[in-house]
Amino acid sequence: MSKLKEIYEGLFEHFGAQGWWPVTPIGGCKGTPAYAPVYGIGLKNEKQKLEIIFGAILTQNTSWKNVEKAIIELNKEDLIDVKKILKIDNNRLAELIKSSGYFNEKAKKLKNFCNFLNKKYNNNLKKLLEKNTKELREELLSVKGIGPETADSIILYAAEMPVFVIDAYTKRIMQRIGFKEQGYDGLQKLFMDNLNNNVKLFNEYHALLVKFGKNYCKKKPECSGCPVSHYCRKPDKKFGT
């Protein structure tokens, strides 16, 4: 078994299945907690896939907790809807997603995506998500505000096609463990060249890396109890970023 696969097994054994991406259940969240997402692959309807796309944009360099609040606000106003987002005033939209940070920029990004989908795909999300992986990625990257990580998150978690998402946690973890590959493309190639092209695997692996990065391999690492310490080069306290 490859080292990457072994690390995956170690993380999975420790944390269990993550079932990303979390989405508001059909019919909305009722009562408390205000945000009670459902998990599970292959169970998302169109609106939930749109919510994944909005969430992927809103979580750029921002904690998911802050994004949850924004998603609650959008759902309250029934704004997980391309036409409605296009209709709403920029400042009003920014106000609703305020908790997610960079709210003016992100309001524009949401509108950019909605405008793109409406104009180029006649507001038919299914049609966009059915394109092949390469074309879909190019299309998504053409939207101002969607970069490689956001595009790949959408491809993996909304279109459910096998592409490996690289984020800040992944970069930090891989560097610490001792892989020489770095940068978005290099790391993505490492994962995709050494693992089976499998949506479920890529979904869980990325989600597990995030969980691991939050709980152990933090900026300031907490190595006590680390589920994959056996695979780490352990440069004692000399961890870089």
Q: How are the residues of the chain apportioned to helix, strand and coil, as percentages rounded to the nearest 5?
A: 60, 0, 40
**Residues of this chain that bind DNA (CB under 7 A):** 20-22, 55-56, 59-66, 69, 98-99, 101-106, 143-151, 153, 157, 167-169, 183, 210, 213-214, 218-220
Chain mean position to CA 163: 12
217 vs 228 by CB, closer to DNA: 217
Chain mean position to CA 228: 23
6 vs 169 by CB, closer to DNA: 169
Q: What are phi and psi of 23, to 5 degrees?
A: -135, 155
79 vs 149 by CB, closer to DNA: 149
The CB-of-156 to DNA minimum distance in angstroms stands at 9
4 vs 149 by CB, closer to DNA: 149
The CB-of-45 to DNA minimum distance in angstroms stands at 18
The CB-of-117 to DNA minimum distance in angstroms stands at 16
For residue 240, what are its two tokens?
Answer: 């870089």
66 vs 118 by CB, closer to DNA: 66
The CB-of-1 to DNA minimum distance in angstroms stands at 27
The CB-of-158 to DNA minimum distance in angstroms stands at 10
> For the chain, what's the residue count?
241
Contact assessment for residue 115 and residue 86, using Cβ atoms and an 8 Å cutoff = yes
